Amino acid sequence: MRLTALFVAALFWLAPSPSLAQEAAAIVAENRDQIEKPSRQTIGPVIAALAASGDTMADDILSAWADKRLVIRKADDALLIAGPDGDGFILRNLDGSEAGAAEKADLTELKPNAGVRGLIAAALVQFTLSDPDPMRRGAALTSIARDPQPETLDALRASIPSETDPALKTQKERLGRFLTLRFDPDPSARVAAIESLGADTSLDTRAALNPLVATTRIATAGEPAGNIARPLSLGRDLTQAEAYALLVAADLAPARLTLEEQRAVLVANIVNGAVGGIPVDELNTQAARDRAYTALEAAGTVPTAATDDEAKAALAAHRFFDAYVETDPSVTAAALAALTSIDRKVGLMQAADLGLDALSLAAIYFLAAIGLAITFGVMGVINMAHGEFITIGAYTGFVVQQLVPDYTLSILIALPLAFAVTFAAGVAMERLVIRHLYKRPLETLLATFGISIALQQILKNVFGTQARPLTAPGWLDGALEFNDVVSISYIRIAIFVLALLFLCFFLYLMKRTRLGLEVRAVTQNPAMAASMGINPDRINMLTFGLGSGIAGIAGVAIGLYAKVTSEMGADYIVQSFMTVVVGGVGNVWGTLAGATMIGSLQKVIEFLNPSNTLAAQTYMILFIILFIQFRPRGIIALRGRAAGD
C-alpha cells in the first residue's frame, strides 16, 4: 500500500499542473483580439508571455500561428490548431485535446504579417535551443548563424546555462558573442564581446568585426556629426566629381549642369533675341552663359542646377569625411584594435603558410634534381633527357594503377617498379650513347636533347596527348589545417617525407657503402681510382642508372598532384639544373640548399606578383644569373682535387 501511494504521488508530482498546462490557452483567450488582428508594435508582449509560460502547448500554438495553421472554426468561432489531413484538417484545442475535423471552407486562417512572424520566430528559438535533441539544437544554432536577428540574442543567452553538451555550449557562447557585438544596445557589452574574442583569427570573426569599421562618405558645411573616421582631401582622396556627387546626394547642392544641357536650355529660352535679359550676341563666353542661366533660375523658368562657378563655390564651402557606419566610437575603437591584432597574426600565419609552400616545393625540386645531381655532379654529363625519366616514372605509376585498383598497394608497387624501369632505361642510354661522348659536353647535350624529343614522341604515341590520372590513396586526401590560413596538403607532406628518405638514402649510399666509396673515388680522380682496381666505366654506368632510377621515383611522387603528360618532365628540367648549379655541383647538401633556395625564391616572387607566373619565372632566372656571377661554384662548392676538374 505504501509503495502504491508513493507511486501515485510521484505521478502527480511529475505531471504538469493543470494551471500550467492550460496557461497558454488562457493567454490566447485573454488576448484573442490582438492575435486575430496583430500589430508588431502591440503583439510583442503577448508572444513573450506565451514563450515564458512554460506550457508545452506554447510551442505548438506559436508554430501553428507562424505556419498559418491557427484557425477559427466558423461554426462556433472557436480558436483551434489545424493539421492537414487529405483535403481537410484535423483540429486540436489549444490545450492539446482533439476537436474533430473540418473542411478548409469551414475555417478562417489567421495570417500574421512578416513583422509578426519575425517576433514569433524569435520566440520559437528558445524552444528549439532547449530541445532535448542535440541535433535540433545544433540545427537551430546553424539557422541563427546563417540569418542572425536581434530578437534571438536573449533566447540564445538564456539557453547557455542549461546546455549540457560541451561542444554545443561552446558554439552557443561563441555565437552569443557575435550577436552581442552586433545587436546589443549596451556599448560596453559590445566592447566586452569584441575583447573576449581574443586571438581568434577565424574568418567568421573577421566577418563579424569588419561591418563595425565600415565607413561611408559624407559632406558637411560645418563640423561633422557622428563617428568620424578621417577627413578627405579633394584631389587626393576623392575627385571633384565624386565630391560634388556627395553634395547632391546630401541635398547640399543642386545637380551639376552640363554644357550640353545648358546650351539646350538657353536655346529653348531665347525671347526677343535675348536669354534672361542678356542679348544672344553677348553669350560668347562661358561666364555670360552662366549669368543667363542664373537669371532663368531666378525667374523660375528652369530648374535649379549648378554651373561651373557655382559648383566650385559649393565644393569650397563644404568638407568631406569618411564616417563609420557604427555610431559608437568605443565600439569602433575596440573593433579596430581587434582587427589590427588579427591582421598582424594573419600576416605571420601567411608567412608561415608561405614557408610551408616553399618547403614543399623545395622537396619536389630536390626529388627532381637529386638524380641529376648524381649524373651531372659525378659524371659531368648534361642529361637533357632527365625530365623524360621523371615522366616515364609517372607513367609507370599510371600503368600499375590500371592493373592494381588498390591505390595504396599500387603506389607501393609503383615506386620500386619505376626505379627499376628508369634504372634500366638509364643504363641502356649510358651504354648506347653516353659512354661514347665522355669529355665532350656539347655533343652529350645535343644527343640527350634529341633523345628527350624522341622519348616525348614515343610517350605521346603510347599514352596519347591527354593528361592521365595518377590517383593518390584515400589517406592522402585533404590537407593538414592548422587554422584558416595555414595548411598543407597530405600529398605534399608525403613528398617532403620521401625527399628526406632519399636524402638519408643518398648519404648512406655515399658514406657507408662500397659503391659510394668507389663513386667518390671516381669523382675526385678517375685515373687514380682505376689504378686502385676500380672500374670507372662500371661506376659511371651504375651512377647514371642510379640517377635515372631516382628520377623515376620522383616522377611517381610528382604525378600524384601534377598532370601526367608527355611534357611533364620538361616542366622540371630547368628547375632541376638550376637547383644543381646553384646548390653546388656534385654535393648532395648543395642540392638540398639549392632546392630550398629555388623553391623559396619562386614562392616569394609568386606571392609578390601572383597574377603573372611567367614574370615570376623570369625574375627567378635573372636572380639566379646574378647569384652565379658572385658565387659561380654554388652555395656549397666542392673542395680538393675534384673542385678543379
Residue 551: count other Cβ atoms within 10 Å of its Cβ.
Answer: 36
Lookup result for grid cell 609507370: 396
Q: What sign does the CA torsion over 237, 238, 240, 243 have?
A: negative
Q: Which three cell numbers stand for residue 391?
A: 615522366
In tens, the pLDDT along 611-623 reads: 666 667 778 788 8
Half-sphere exposure of 283 (CA within 13 A, CB side): 18
Say how far apart CA 491 and CA 478 lie, in whole Å. 8
Say how far apart CA 311 and CA 290 lie, in whole Å. 12
Lookup result for grid cell 659531368: 380
> How high is the pLDDT of residue 392?
93
Say how far apart CA 576 and CA 599 lie, in whole Å. 11
Q: Which regions in the chain score pLDDT beneath 50? A: 1-21, 640-645
Domain 350-644, what architecture?
Answer: Orthogonal Bundle (1.10)
Lookup result for grid cell 535540433: 136
Q: Which three cell numbers stand for residue 103?
A: 473542411
| Amino acid type, 6 | L
> How high is the pLDDT of residue 147?
77
H helices of 184-321, in order, are 187-196, 203-209, 240-249, 259-268, 286-298, 308-316
Cβ atoms of residues 560 and 407 within 8 Å = no
> How high is the pLDDT of residue 643?
46
Q: Is 257 exposed, middle or buried (0-12, 13-18, 19+ CB in 10 A)?
A: buried
> How high is the pLDDT of residue 14?
36
| Beta strand residue intervals within 148-223, DSSP E | 215-220
Lookup result for grid cell 506550457: 55
> How high is the pLDDT of residue 113?
80
User: To 5 degrees, how large is the angle CA 359–CA 364–CA 368?
Assistant: 140
| 254 contacts: CB under 8 Å, gap ≥ 6 | 248, 303, 304, 305, 306, 310
Say how far apart CA 362 and CA 356 lie, in whole Å. 10
> How high is the pLDDT of residue 71?
82
H helices of 302-440, in order, are 308-316, 329-379, 386-403, 407-432
291 Cα distance to chain centroid: 58
Cβ atoms of residues 55 and 20 within 8 Å = yes
Say how far apart CA 531 and CA 533 lie, in whole Å. 5
Question: 514-524 and 490-512 are packed helices; what angle lies between their axes, rounded to 10 degrees?
Answer: 80
* pTM exceeding the 0.75 threshold for the entire prediction: no
Quick one: which of 379, 354, 376 has its CA closest to 583?
376
Say how far apart CA 342 and CA 431 lie, in whole Å. 61
Domain-wise residue ranges, the chain: 22-119, 130-213, 239-319, 350-644
| Beta strand residue intervals within 411-499, DSSP E | 479-481, 487-489
Lookup result for grid cell 505521478: 11
Say how far apart CA 47 and CA 581 lie, in whole Å. 78
User: To 5 degrees, how large is the angle CA 520–CA 518–CA 531?
Assistant: 105
Say how far apart CA 210 and CA 93 lie, in whole Å. 49
Cβ atoms of residues 70 and 43 within 8 Å = no
